[in-house]
A and B are shown apart, each in its own frame.
Chain A
Amino acid sequence: MAYDKFNTLKCSAVPLPIENVDTDQIIPARFLKATERVGFGDNLFRDWRYNQDNSPKNEFPLNDSKYTGSILVGGKNFGSGSSREHAAWAVYDYGFRCVVSSFFADIFRNNCLNVGVLPVQVSAEFLKKIFTAIENNSQSQLIVDLQSQTISIEGTEYSENFDINSYKKENMLNGFDDIDFLMNIKDQIGEFAKKTPL
């Protein structure tokens, strides 16, 4: 489905300085029983966010009121494991529009791009600078500019470029999705299918 346009984002961020955050942590399998894409944000990081009696774990960043904003900053190799797009849905539904890490797992990165969450991969050094800035001031503002492909920490000289392929960039800037594109070349696909044996 088409999603919101993404241009620039300037806000504080929620830090999650843990490496190898897998999609089973982002959304545990027992919450994948829905047949519609609604309400996944409630169970984002369910088992890190809540005790087994459903009381919140106060030390978890999402439960700490000093952290706000629609950018999630995670440790290296964010989103490994299962292909469940529900993980990207949960991130989006909770209110995040951008995830920053020094390394993303492939499928999670694709899923994010397909649901309108911008994955921003930065260097390990820059990631450390972001974590430090948030540690010093939880309301440190990050500025993500998709057009110029830059991410910066406001009030500092720290800024870095990030990669995104030009096709996906246009999609995000305009809120298009891949199916719009594919439907437009369906005749070409049909011809290809005809000469491809079952």
Chain B
Amino acid sequence: MNNTLFDKVWDSHVVHQITGGPDVLFIDRHLVHEVTSPVAFLGLKNRGVKVMSPERTFATADHNTPTINQHLPVADPLSAKQLKALEENAAAHGISYWGLGHEKNGIVHVVGPEYGITQPGATIVCGDSHTSTHGAFGAIAFGIGTSEVEMVLSTQCIMQPKPKTMRITVDGKLSKGVTPKDVALFIISQLSTSGATGYFVEYAGEVFKSFSMEGRMTVCNLSIEMGARGGIIAPDEKTFEYIKDREFTPKGKAWDKAMNYWSTLETDSDATFDKEYIFEGSTIEPMITYGTNPGMGMGISGGIPKAESLDGGVATYKKSLDYMGYKEGDSMIGKKIDFVFLGSCTNGRIEDFRAFTEIIEGRKKADHVTAWLVPGSHKVLKAIKDEGLLGILETAGFELREPGCSACLAMNDDKVPSGKYAVSTSNRNFEGRQGPGSRTLLASPTVAAAAAVMGVVTDPRTLI
């Protein structure tokens, strides 16, 4: 046998092949949120079709929800209408719906794994590009558009050309202060924001093996930021330990049967990939971005690259630095910041709050910094309280908000004002992503915490 893990999962889900065209791929789990689903449900209505497999479909509200006063009616009428639409569509089609205020509510890519919806060997889609997160469990998971949401709702299938395969291996040991987010930002900075377009990426090597499931999710989450359809990591004991006994995972004999299959989910030793990259973990520093796409990242102690060092694209590069108000060669250390955002499907899990708390404990939030700490789900929020992190955060001058996507895409009121700088643990630093005119520096929770207490970009290794 010479199959990759990706091939094994993909091939076992092909319902039909079209010569010279896409595969018809069966979808095991479909996650639905309020922003990319209403037009799909409308399409179903127009065709007079019901959802084919409500039991494989899960809906949650996250993108367009407030992160304060969630017990009150949503003030923005358009947002309220969109949330209502999802609630009604879910009810009409018999889909479980974890709306605002529901104990299981949270960011779709945080709650999926938390409740065992995410499983090894499964195909998982959602109308959201960060669906790649679920690949951390050995699933094929990727984001789709609304037409495709309609396809999956009506036929539980999607039509996709099979992507090429890429393996990224990171061996060795990471140094102090380097987190899964840094490893991902480092890889994206090496491959660029389009370097993996057309590929599905398997992450391999000691570094990913050493990560917790949360860390693996952070890495797979960011696969899309280098253009990849998704990322996947072979399931192992950590994976099985994480998912065991969660609400939607198999129990008893069904678990044993599933384990028999899941334990075969790895790339065969003689399998080949269309492309391979190998990096050494010990060379990776804490990372930060300085530009307007996630590929524009650098080791925190370095200088902003000069345009002449680039392979083309100089005009776009200069436009990007102009937007950020930075100059070629600038050091990032010491740059003043205004906002800190801890949260999102990239870094809104309990491990991220632990890492943030570790840095701020015994210190104070810088006076001029506004900090938004947004747990990825109610389960994460509860863990923050249960583990005693909330007290430490409050003592240091931080407040906790309620779960949601929040300032990652700033659809709600959590918007960074024009011209202001935010160190964010989210996934995109595009122009205006966190609000019109906002300037985003992507970083790990550790780097974000250091910036929050110092008020300027700070090497977190000096605070550990």
Residues of A within 8 A of B (CB): 1, 17-20, 22, 24-25, 28-30, 32-37, 47, 52, 75-77, 80-86, 88, 103-107, 110-111, 114-115, 165-168, 177-179, 181-183, 185-186, 188-189, 192-193, 196-198
What's the Cα separation between A191 and B125 when bound, in Å? 21
Residues of B278-309 contacting chain A, CB below 8 A = 293
Q: Are A183 and B154 in contact (CB under 8 A)?
A: yes
In the complex, what residues of A have CB within 8 A of residue B36's CB? 83-85
What's the Cα separation between A64 and B141 when bound, in Å? 42
What's the Cα separation between A177 and B145 when bound, in Å? 14
Is B235 an interface position by the 8 A CB rule?
Answer: no
What's the Cα separation between A103 and B315 when bound, in Å? 17
Q: Are B436 and A34 in contact (CB under 8 A)?
A: no
What's the Cα separation between A105 and B294 when bound, in Å? 14
Q: Are B22 and A165 in contact (CB under 8 A)?
A: yes
Is B348 an interface position by the 8 A CB rule?
Answer: no
What's the Cα separation between A83 and B227 when bound, in Å? 11
Is B432 an interface position by the 8 A CB rule?
Answer: yes
In the complex, what residues of A have CB within 8 A of residue B159's CB? 167, 178, 181-182
Is B251 an interface position by the 8 A CB rule?
Answer: no
In the complex, what residues of B have CB within 8 A of residue A75's CB? 316
Known: A106-B227, A111-B145, A182-B151. 9 other contacts (CB 8 A): A20-B194, A24-B431, A76-B313, A81-B430, A115-B147, A168-B22, A188-B15, A189-B52, A197-B258
Q: Are A36 and B428 in contact (CB under 8 A)?
A: no
Output the least CB separation between A170 and chain B (Å).
Answer: 9
Output the least CB separation between B1 and chain A (Å).
Answer: 22
In the complex, what residues of B have CB within 8 A of residue A77's CB? 193-194, 197, 227
Stretch at the interface among B74-82, B92-100, B107-115: B74-82
In the complex, what residues of A have CB within 8 A of residue B148's CB? 110, 114, 178
In the complex, what residues of B have CB within 8 A of residue A111's CB? 145-147
In the complex, per-residue mask of B125-161: 1 if CB is within 8 Å of any chain A CB, else 0: 0011101000000000001111110110011110111
Q: Are B147 and A106 in contact (CB under 8 A)?
A: no
Q: Are B227 and A182 in contact (CB under 8 A)?
A: no
Q: Are B156 and A193 in contact (CB under 8 A)?
A: yes
Q: Are B319 and A18 in contact (CB under 8 A)?
A: yes
Is B53 an interface position by the 8 A CB rule?
Answer: yes
Q: Are B227 and A105 in contact (CB under 8 A)?
A: yes
Q: Are B78 and A33 in contact (CB under 8 A)?
A: yes
21 sample A-B contacts, Cβ–Cβ < 8 Å, listed by A number: A18-B319, A33-B411, A36-B39, A47-B432, A77-B194, A80-B193, A80-B194, A81-B428, A83-B127, A83-B143, A83-B144, A105-B197, A106-B163, A106-B227, A107-B129, A110-B160, A114-B148, A179-B150, A182-B159, A183-B155, A193-B52
A111 nearest in chain B by CB position = B145
Output the least CB separation between A112 and chain B (Å).
Answer: 9
What's the Cα separation between A82 and B36 when bound, in Å? 11
In the complex, per-residue mask of B10-51: 1 if CB is within 8 Å of any chain A CB, else 0: 000001101111101010100000011011001100110100
What's the Cα separation between A115 and B145 when bound, in Å? 10
Is B418 an interface position by the 8 A CB rule?
Answer: yes
Q: Are A167 and B410 in contact (CB under 8 A)?
A: no
Q: Are A107 and B144 in contact (CB under 8 A)?
A: yes
In the complex, what residues of A have CB within 8 A of residue B432's CB? 24-25, 28, 47
In the complex, what residues of A have CB within 8 A of residue B157's CB? 182, 189
Q: Are B156 and A189 in contact (CB under 8 A)?
A: yes
Q: Are B156 and A80 in contact (CB under 8 A)?
A: no
A35/B85 contact (C-beta < 8 A), A75-B316, A178-B151 known: yes
What's the Cα separation between A181 and B451 when bound, in Å? 53
Output the least CB separation between A93 and chain B (Å).
Answer: 13
Q: Are B436 and A179 in contact (CB under 8 A)?
A: no
A185/B15 contact (C-beta < 8 A), A76-B194, A165-B22 known: yes
Output the least CB separation between A188 and chain B (Å).
Answer: 6
Q: Are B197 and A103 in contact (CB under 8 A)?
A: yes
